[in-house]
Amino acid sequence: MLEIKNVSKIYNEGLQFQALKSIDLEVEEGEFVGIMGPSGSGKSTLLNLIGTIDTPTSGKVILGGKEPAKLNSEELAKFRRNELGFVFQNFNLMPTLTVEENIILPLTLDGEKISVMTKKLNIIAERLGISELLKKRIATISGGQAQRVAIARAMIHEPKLILADEPTGNLDTKSSKDVMGLLEDLNQKEASTILMVTHDPFAASYCKKIVFIKDGELVKEIYQNGTREAFYDDILIALKEIEGAQNEL
């Protein structure tokens, strides 16, 4: 599904800074992988490279057998719309549009038929429990509901990979549980492949594998082999082993 081969990223704006150093990572189809590490460790940089928002200085990012860095701007835009689904901390929804209009936006940009959009919209809205919200404006719904809408938008075009960047960062405890339970269901029942950046051990406990980054390098991987509660404890232990991780708790 996803191969990251010897990827490094160096920023040369002002003082040179190496954000990532020789990263190697594979994500299999149907995996739910979390990325954790101290602030400034390179988590967001890695997600931006995978999401084709940025390009590596060296090495390769290969998704579904394609190397996005070699695509032209038109091909890249189409690749991003068709192959990737994005879920952000601040939802990134269009406040002037209705819930329905936000969800079908990727299909609208691709010029999909109205009949096809309507069918896909009804299926995804029913699956995520937001059918009654479709005609409402974004400004009138809660944060937890908004994140469900964002997940619906990310899923409606059936992407190969969902990229979630701190998806519970702006949510209260109950909404966080609801959203993570939803992502877990999508992974387990729909076999969706999900890659999530988070600093929250609770959110991370829903993943099946956690990759830890420190100073731009992959330093540890752990896997869920038992209960989610036991995995949560394993995550806390792993974070404490990484210098500076105490500030993340």
Predicted TM-score (pTM) of the model is 0.86
Q: How far is it, in rounded angstroms, from Cα 22 to Cα 70?
A: 19
Torsion of CA 32, 154, 67, 69, to 10 degrees: -120
pLDDT of 72 above 60: yes
Which among 118, 88, 84 has a CA at the least distance from the CA of 103? 118
Say yes or no to pLDDT of 13 above 80: no
CA–CA dist 12, 37 (Å, integer): 23
Each residue of 29-52: pLDDT tens digit?
A: 999 999 999 888 899 899 999 999
What is the per-residue pLDDT across 234-249, written as a single tens digit (0 to 9) for each? 999 999 988 654 444 4
Classify residue 167: in a domain, yes or no: yes
Task: Tell whether 71 is covered by a domain.
Answer: yes
Q: What is the pLDDT of residue 243?
A: 62
pLDDT band at 171 (very low <50, low <70, confident <90, very high): confident
Edge-to-edge, what's the strand order for the sheet holding 32-36?
84-88, 161-165, 194-197, 32-36, 209-214, 217-223
Sign, CA dihedral 34-40-42-44, equals positive
Residue 114 lies in a domain: no
Answer yes or no: is 189 within a domain.
yes
Task: Please say whether the beta carbons of 163 and 86 come within 8 A.
Answer: yes
Is residue 115 included in any domain, yes or no? no
If one counts the domains in the chain, the total is 1
Residues 6+ apart with CB under 8 A from 138: 91, 93, 94, 95, 97, 98, 99, 102, 146, 149
Which H or E run includes 126?
A: helix 114-128
pLDDT in tens, 104-134: 988 888 888 999 999 999 999 998 889 999 9
E-strand stretches of 37-115: 58-63, 84-88
The domain of 227 spans 2-92+161-248
Domain at 171, CATH number: 3.40.50.300
- Indicate the average pLDDT of the chain: 89
Q: Is 88 helix (H, G, I), strand (E, B) or coil?
A: strand
pLDDT of residue 74 exceeding 90, the answer is no
Tell me whether residue 118 is in a domain: no
In total, the chain counts a number of residues equal to 249
- β-partners of residue 8 are 58
**Residue at token pair 């919209």:** 121
Average pLDDT (196-211) is 95
> How high is the pLDDT of residue 175?
87
pLDDT at position 137, please? 93
| Nearest-angstrom CA–CA distance, 130 and 126 | 6
CA 145, CA 58: separation in Å to the nearest integer? 40
Residue 173, domain member (yes or no): yes
| Assigned domain for 32 exists | yes
